[in-house]
């Protein structure tokens, strides 16, 4: 069975709901978040590994996903679900909390 056949519509839809940043927004965030006074990451390696994986997944068609991609999608959904109200209404919170969610493509201040 192809990996794409193993991905439930529910996971596909939930991932694309909780990841409410566009590829461009996420890429720019990862570049900014990883830039420091003394160092700046190579753009295609900027940001935390999970954020880069989310960015990679956003660039794929459902039929091109790997089992590892599916695991990352599930993990991202689990993280957001554990830290947010189910309605996903825009919500202010601490800077570190917001930035940790943005690192995986979810901006809690942005409507889904």
Verdict on whether the full-model pTM lies above 0.75: yes
Q: Give the pLDDT score at 39.
A: 47
Q: Say if 107 falls within a structural domain.
A: no
Tell me the mean pLDDT in the region 62-78.
Answer: 95
**Boundaries of domain holding 11:** 3-102
Whether the predicted pLDDT of 92 surpasses 60:
yes
What gap in Å lies between CA 65 and CA 62, rounded to an integer? 6
* Separation of CA 12 from chain center: 13
Query: Structure tokens of 60?
Result: 């794929």
Residue 111 lies in a domain: no
Whether 52 maps to a domain, the answer reads yes
Q: Per residue in 93-104, pLDDT tens?
A: 899 999 999 999
Per-residue HEC secondary structure of the chain comes to CCHHHHCCHHHHHHHHHHCCCCHHHHHHHHHHHHCCCCCCCCHHHCCCHHHHHHHHHHCCCHHHCCHHHHHHHHHHHHHHHHHCCCCCCCCCCCHHHHHHHHCCCCCCCCCC
The domain tally of the chain equals: 1
- Report pLDDT digits (tens) over 22-64: 999 999 999 887 655 444 555 555 567 899 999 999 999 999 9
């Amino acid at each position: 069975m192809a990996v794409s056949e193993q991905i439930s519509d529910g996971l596909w839809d939930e991932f694309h709901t909780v990841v409410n940043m566009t590829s461009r927004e996420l890429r720019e965030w990862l570049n900014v978040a990883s830039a420091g006074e003394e160092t700046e990451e190579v753009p295609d390696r900027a940001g935390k590994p999970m954020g880069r994986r989310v960015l990679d997944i956003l660039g794929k068609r459902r039929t091109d996903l790997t089992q590892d991609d599916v695991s990352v999608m599930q993990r991202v959904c689990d993280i957001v679900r554990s830290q947010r109200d189910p309605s996903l209404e825009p919500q202010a919170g601490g800077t570190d909390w917001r930035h940790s969610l943005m690192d995986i493509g979810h901006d809690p201040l942005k409507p889904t």
